Amino acid sequence: MIPRYSRPEMVAIWSPETKFRIWYEIEAHACDAMADLGVIPRENADAVWKAKDVEFDVARIDEIEAVTKHDVIAFLTHLAEHVGSDEARFVHQGMTSSDVLDTCLNVQLVRASDILIEDLKGLMAALKTRALEHKDTVRVGRSHGIHAEPTTMGLTFARFYAEMDRNLARLKAAREEISTGAISGAIGTFANVDPRVEEHVCEKLGLSPEPISTQVIPRDRHAMFFSVLGVIASSMENIVIEIRHMQRTEVLEGAEFFSMGQKGSSAMPHKKNPILTENLTGLARLVRMAVIPAMENVALWHERDISHSSVERTIAPDATITLNFALKRLTSVIEKMLIFPDNMLDNMNKFPGLVMSQRVLLALTQAGVSREDAYSMVQRNALKVWEHRVDFQEQLLADEEVVAALGVEAINEKFDMGYHTKHVDTIFKRVFG
């Protein structure tokens, strides 16, 4: 991922230096286990740890790979340069390249998951704070982009919190799904490496042994993982689309924070554009871009091919780095977001009283009017509000048929805003406990 959308902690997980360090640890722990089992001499296993503080030379490994055309062999050759050719002769004993590559990838994905889990918790904390802050800030709810009925800004933040809480559970499950390692040798039969070696290596790396691998760890696990990242990205877009709508000039119920010295347009000095949330919409697309290739990686020929390899070298760092950056950016947007309650009320009253139409409809049916007749009675008055911007309540009070059915006092009572917010506490208790 380009530096513009990257954060150092996540980038470091995917650096060549980190990868080679994990490869080294896999090989060294495997040697320890083999020595314990009497498969290789203890002194050879101990010799491998001479490289425990070595900074592996990426350029040198690349130089060797240019000849060998094999990345794992290039690394093992470089490792022998540090350990000694004779001492290192038992390194990789009975193992195959995928034992190193797949176990390393899953270690990296677990580490990336840990960062993303904390990112999600940070976003949820920001959403909860804003939800409590605006628990009773009334705004109009919309369906199809059209005024529907009153809600509160707090409920808007709360539903986004609940969605991210579900995503947190999904990500924890995806982390568990991907937390496996395999040291099972060619074709995964353990013919040349004892299963206890796998158990030891996985324990040291914080993984569980893959119950049955072929020559690779099954890619349905990875498909699950990247699918969850895609869902999280879509949930983020769900939030930022709402913010972008709120910042429209005709709406202006909320907006991204506009910092001192910030410029909105090279041509129009008056502009304050929702650039961060627009950017987040784009970043969500990039994360989702990993989902289909990850699913297509599940189908491999027989016990292994490497059609998945080039895909994962790209999508694993790109998707996790992008999502890490995006979650941090969205958290900042939520924390600093400007809310305009007065504009919310102005928008609510743009068509005065119209959002109370269902209350009147229900009251008429309860008063004995058929639903069809009640709907016609309410709609004919509502359409006048749409067309002429008159007051809905006044129209109803001037409609003899409605007054005859309900009475003046009952009509006026239907325009109490508190009716729509009476269960906010109940919903908040469900969401936040």
Of the candidates 265, 307, 310, 370, the residue annotated as catalytic is 265
Taking only Cα atoms into account, the Rg of the chain, rounded to an integer number of angstroms, comes to 30
User: Which residues lie closer than 8 Å to 212 by C-beta, 6 or more apart?
Assistant: 188
Residue type, 150: P
Residue type, 132: L
What's phi and psi for 82, nearest 5 deg? -90, -40
Query: Which residue bears the tokens 């068509």?
Result: 351
- Cα–Cα distance between 17 and 414 in angstroms, integer? 68
Buried/exposed code over 128-144 (b: 16+ C-beta within 10 A; e: otherwise): bebbeebbebbbbeeee
CA distances from 223 to 92, 210, 220, 297 (A): 28, 16, 5, 8
Q: 220-246 and 153-178 helices cross at what angle (nearest 10)?
A: 160
Token representation of residue 381: 């008055």
Q: Centre a 10 Å sphere on the Cβ of residue 365 and count the other Cβ atoms it contains.
A: 16
User: Which residues lie closer than 8 Å to 308 by C-beta, 6 or more apart?
Assistant: 216, 219, 222, 297, 300
265 flagged as catalytic: yes
C-alpha triplet 369, 373, 379: angle, nearest 5°: 120
309 flagged as catalytic: no
Query: Is there a contact between 315 and 353 (Cβ–Cβ < 8 Å)?
Result: no
- Cα–Cα distance between 299 and 308 in angstroms, integer? 9
Token representation of residue 228: 């969850």
Q: N- to C-terminal Cα distance for the chain?
A: 39
3-state secondary structure of 100: helix
Of 219, 229, 232, 233, the residue nearest 106 (C-alpha): 219
Catalytic residue positions, numbered: 144, 265
